[in-house]
Structure 1
Amino acid sequence: MSDIRVLIIDDDFRVAGVHRDIVAGIRGFVSLDPVRTAAEALSATRADSPDLVLADVYLPDGDGIEVVRSCGVDAFVLSAATDARTVRRAFRAGALAYLVKPFEARTLADRLERYARYRNLLSDSAPLTQDQIDRAATALRGAPEQASLSRSATERTILTALTDGEASASEVAERGGISRATAQRHLTALASRGLVEISLRYGTTGRPEHRFRLAASGAD
C-alpha cells in the first residue's frame, strides 16, 4: 500500500510543525506542507489529494469543521475546544477522531497507526463481510478504556503537586514548574474526570478562590 498523505491545517506554525514531525516519524505516512487557513486547506485538498487531514477548528478565515465537511477527505479534528456542541459538530461533519489539545505526541501517533490499520482492513476491492467492517471500526477506535486512563506528563506533574495537599492553581503551577494557565486548564480537565476535587475558599474581599485536592482515585 502506498504512503498515507496527511495535510495539517493549523494557523499556529509551531503547532503545525510539531504535528508534521509526528506524522513524518511514522512509517508509511508522508506529511504535506501544512496550511493555515480554510481557503488554503480547500485548495490543497484539490491540488494535492491528501488521504487524511488533521484540522484545527478555529482558523483565521473560517471553521475547520466546515473544511472537514466540504473536503470529502478522511479527517481528524485537533482542537482545544471541549464543549459538547463542537465535538458533536465534528463527528457529524465526518471526523473519524477528535483529539483535545494539548496532547502527547504518542497520542497522535497511536491514532495515526490505528488509521493505517483501518485503511488496510478496508482496502480489499471485494465486497466486505460484517466481520471485516467491525474489525476496521475496532482498529480505528481502539479500546476506549485505554484512552480514558492515559495521563499526560503535565497531568502527572499536577497530580504529584497535589500530593503535598490542597492548593490553588497558582500554587500547583509553582510546585510543578508550569504556567498558571496550563495548571488551571489541566486541573479543570482532571476535575471533570473525577481525579481532582474543587472547593471554594471565601476571603474577606474579592471573588472566592478555587482550591484543588486529589480525589480518592486521583493518586492511583
Structure 2
Amino acid sequence: MAKSQFPLHLLIVEDDIRIAEINRRFVEKVSGFSVVAIATTREEAHEQITCLQPDLILLDNYFPDMTGIELLKWIREEVPESDVIMVTAAKEIHVLKQAMKRGIFDYIVKPVMFDRFKETLLKYKQYKETINKLTCTNEWVDQEGIDRLLGKEPKAKQECHLPKGIDQLTLKKVLLVIQQHKKGLTAEEVGKDIGASRTTARRYLEYLVSTFEIDADLAYGSVGRPERIYRYVNH
C-alpha cells in the first residue's frame, strides 16, 4: 500500500550548515514539502536516513569523511525507496556519470538559484503524485503513464505545438489519404479528396514532408510543369 504522500519528507545532507539552512529555507517556499532533518556527517546521514526513510534527500558530494557518491551507493543498497537530488559544487563529469548511474532524480550545481531549485522540486512532487495514483489504481502501467513518470509531455500538449496554419484534424485526414494511395498523389488530388483547396493541401503535405512522415518526388508529364507527388513513408 502506498504511504500518505504529502507533505513529502525531505532530508538535507550538507556539511556546511549555512548552505544547509539556505536549502531549508528554499524548500519551505515550495508547498508540499517538509524538511525533517539536516545531516552534516556520514554518521548523522546514516542514522537519520535509516530512521526517517525520507521521500527525498538533497545530497552534497564533498564531505570531510565521505563523498556524496559513496553515500548514494549506500542509500541505493539500504533505503532504495528514498529518492536523491544532488546539490553540489562538483562539476566533474565522472561524478555526474556515477550519480546518474545510481538513479538520481536531478543534479543541481551550486550556487543554487531558487527558480531552478523550485522547478525540480515541483517536478518531483508531480512525479510522486503520478506514481502514487498509478500505484493505487493499477498493477501495471501503459505507455502514457510511463511517459508522465518520465516527464514527457502528454500527446494533447504535443499537438498544441503544431505550427500556425496546421490543425491536428486536417493533418490526420491528409496523412490518411496519402497512406491509402500507395502510388502517391498530387496536392490537387489530396485537396479534392479532403474537400480543401490545392494550396491548403500542399501546406499540410509539405509539413508532413518536413516531419519525414511522407516523401515528395517530381513527376514529369508530357506537357506543362512537373508536379510533386507525395507518398507515404513506411517507417
The 5-angstrom pairing of residues 44-193 of structure 1 reads 44-71=48-75, 72=80, 73-123=82-132, 124-125=134-135, 126=138, 127-138=140-151
Offset at 1:103? 2.1
Larger radius of gyration: 2
Match of 1:36 among 40, 58, 61: 40
Q: Per-residue deviation at 1:39?
A: 2.0
Contact persistence 1:39–1:61 (CA under 8 A): no
* Cα offsets for 1:39-96 (capped at 9, x unmatched): 2111111111200000000112111122122222200011111111010011112211
SS at match of 1:54: strand
Deviates most, 88-97 or 108-117: 88-97
Per-residue CA shift, 1:96-141, capped at 9, x if unaligned? 111111121121111001000011111122121121111111169x
Shift of 1:36: 0.5
* 2:37 and 2:48 in contact (8 A); partners too: no
Secondary structure at the residue paired with 2:34? strand
Residues in 1 aligned to 2:28 and 2:85: alpha-carbon distance in whole angstroms: 16
Unaligned runs of 5+ in 2: 154-235
Consecutive unaligned residues in structure 1, runs of 5 or more: 141-220
CA distance, structure 2, for counterparts of residue 31 and residue 139 of structure 1: 28
Q: Which runs of 4+ in 1 moved over 6 A?
A: none
TM-score (structure 2 length as normaliser): 0.57
Structure 1-normalised TM-score? 0.61
Task: Give percent identity, aligned residues only.
Answer: 29
In structure 1, the residue matched to 2:21 is 17
